[in-house]
């Protein structure tokens, strides 16, 4: 389970209303030509979830449309983790969200970023101001 924002919940509900599959949020549309007005019906009757290859194709198309040089599902996962760390999430929380069995795998997200550098400098300044003189 992962936390998602209320905005994302609304987006997912809108997407579900398109296909109305009884169990899946991301059902497969299956292979083969299908008129655009029949895609929702096809997805609503799907017997399996969307294949990872389909997700990769969707991301590749969005990347090209937005002119983003590199973007894969792993890039999105890495960005999610990095943003959570920068926002102050604990490493153990991140480990649980990413499904890492060992904390050493999660430590990679502690890499120094511009923001974490700035935050560290500000913290040092604050701590030093409170020292007796």
The residue with greater pLDDT, 11 or 110, is: 11
Which position has the token pair 């913290």?
123
Between CA 63 and CA 116 the distance in angstroms is: 27
| Residue 85 burial class via C-beta count within 10 angstroms: exposed 0-12, middle 13-18, buried 19 and up | buried
pLDDT at 114 > cutoff 70: no
Write down the mean pLDDT value for the chain.
Answer: 86
- pLDDT tens digit string along 25-38? 999 988 878 888 88
Looking at residue 10, what is its pLDDT?
A: 94
C-alpha to C-alpha distances, 25 to 15, 32, 44, nearest whole angstrom: 8, 21, 10
Sequence ranges of the domains in the chain: 6-50, 73-129
């Amino acid at each position: 389970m992962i936390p998602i924002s209320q905005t994302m919940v609304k987006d997912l509900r809108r997407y579900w209303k398109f296909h109305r599959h009884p169990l899946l949020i991301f059902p497969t549309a299956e292979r083969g030509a299908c008129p655009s007005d029949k895609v929702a019906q096809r997805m609503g009757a799907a017997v399996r979830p969307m294949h990872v290859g389909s997700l990769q194709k969707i991301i590749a198309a969005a990347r090209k449309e937005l002119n983003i040089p590199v973007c894969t599902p792993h890039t999105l996962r890495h960005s999610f983790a990095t943003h959570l760390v920068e926002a102050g999430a604990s490493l153990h929380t991140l480990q649980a969200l990413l499904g890492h069995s060992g904390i050493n795998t999660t430590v990679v997200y502690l890499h120094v970023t511009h923001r974490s550098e700035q935050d560290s400098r500000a913290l040092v300044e604050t701590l030093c101001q409170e020292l007796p003189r």
